Homo-oligomer: A and B are copies of this chain.
Amino acid sequence: VLAPRDIVRLEDAGIVLLDQTLLPGARVERTCASVDELIDAIRELAIRGAPALGVAGAMGVALAAATGPDEPAALRAYVANQAGRLADARPTAVNLRWGVEQALTVVEGAWRTAPELRGRLAGLAARIHADEVARCRAMGRHGAARLADGARIVTQCNTGALATGGYGSALGVVRALHEAGRAPHVWVPETRPLLQGARLTAWELAEDGIAHTLVTDNAVGALFAEGAVDAVLVGADRIAANGDAANKIGTYPLAVLARHHDVPFYVVAPSTTIDSDTPDGAGIVVEQRARAEVAGFGGVVTAPAATPCRNDAFDVTPAALITGIVTEDGVHEAPYVFVPASA
């Protein structure tokens, strides 16, 4: 079982994270000694998952402060610049920007010396990390209450401890069922192109001894058709004010299949994933990733060189297909009206 500090932590040498690109073959820690190295790690998906990126965002600002000049005005300017670049490292996950902005309110607030700022930012990052895990446990309780014993659950991508900094969002619900002896079984789609299902979700479930079966993304339809799916539980990278939810590419077809088969479809995500400034899914920017991810598989080139590829990292599931959105506050149901916390 992974502890939160096994996934990501702030040390004097930098941000130490479990390199998720090397799982399940090898468990290797990677140290990011600068914001640039953290941005590289985020772009390469060495750390990924919306809630975990929120933690990384706050830690990244703390790292910027730790590596910046000691003179307060210069430090403030340096950190603000680094933070802006960090927040843009991945466009779809709202949590990354949220974590950065939480830390920036400290930077922009009252402090007098560099050590004071550095200490406060490190403390904030630790608190955000602990809060994120606590939110996961709350989501786990709320979600589990909606599911029957022995539920056969389809998920997508990885929404476990690795994605959230500890415990998990959609996979946190599975963990809550498992901890209560309620015997969930998880159908794990491998989640091309980067196979977070096969590499990360299957690994987490195997480590915890939770029943699961790996399938290709293509095979999920047949599972619905044979009546072998009781619920779909997915995470989210950004939820608009009306409940439209962006998540890993391949989530939307699961929602359509669930509706066709009258199976409940839940989005499980902390409130930090809600972007109430975006009215609906049409306003969510979907990250486009490299051709090579589609044209190959684990270093093996699979497509002709002349073949164009398209590689959307996410798709958007409309609120109308979502049975409920599970946050740490409970299970929200349609009509979804998420308003800014300040409203």
Contact = CB atoms under 8 A, between A and B. Distances in A.
A342 interface: no
A243 to B, nearest CB: 16
Given A192-B190, A257-B256, A304-B202, A250 B218 contact: yes
Given A189-B218, A214-B309, 8 more contacts: A25-B301, A192-B218, A206-B306, A216-B249, A219-B311, A222-B315, A256-B257, A260-B260
B256 A221 contact: yes
A83 interface: no
B249 A219 contact: yes
A282 to B, nearest CB: 10
Interface stretch (A40-48, A53-61, A193-201): A193-201
A309 B298 CA distance: 19
Interface stretch (A10-18, A106-114, A289-297): A289-297
B192 A295 contact: no
Given A253-B253, A256-B257, A303 B219 contact: no
Given A222-B249, A249-B222, A308-B214, A300 B297 contact: yes
A215 B304 contact: no
Given A252-B225, A297-B298, A299-B300, A217 B214 contact: no
A259 interface: yes
A215 B300 contact: no
A248 B219 CA distance: 10
Contacts of A297: 195, 297-298, 300, 302
One complex includes copies of this chain to the number of 2
A342 to B, nearest CB: 32
A253 B217 CA distance: 10
A93 interface: no
A222 B313 CA distance: 10
B294 A214 contact: yes
A316 interface: yes
Given A217-B192, A217-B218, A315-B221, A303 B199 contact: yes
B198 A310 contact: no
A24 interface: yes
A127 to B, nearest CB: 33
27 contacts: A24-B303, A188-B307, A190-B302, A192-B218, A193-B216, A193-B218, A195-B297, A198-B294, A198-B295, A202-B303, A202-B304, A203-B304, A212-B307, A213-B307, A213-B309, A214-B294, A215-B311, A216-B249, A216-B311, A219-B250, A222-B312, A222-B315, A225-B316, A256-B256, A260-B260, A297-B298, A298-B302
A6 B217 CA distance: 33
Nearest to A156: B218
A214 B307 contact: yes
A191 interface: yes
Given A217-B218, A294-B190, A308-B213, A315 B198 contact: no
A326 interface: no
A162 interface: no
Nearest to A301: B25
A203 B305 CA distance: 9
Interface string A174-191: 000000000000001111
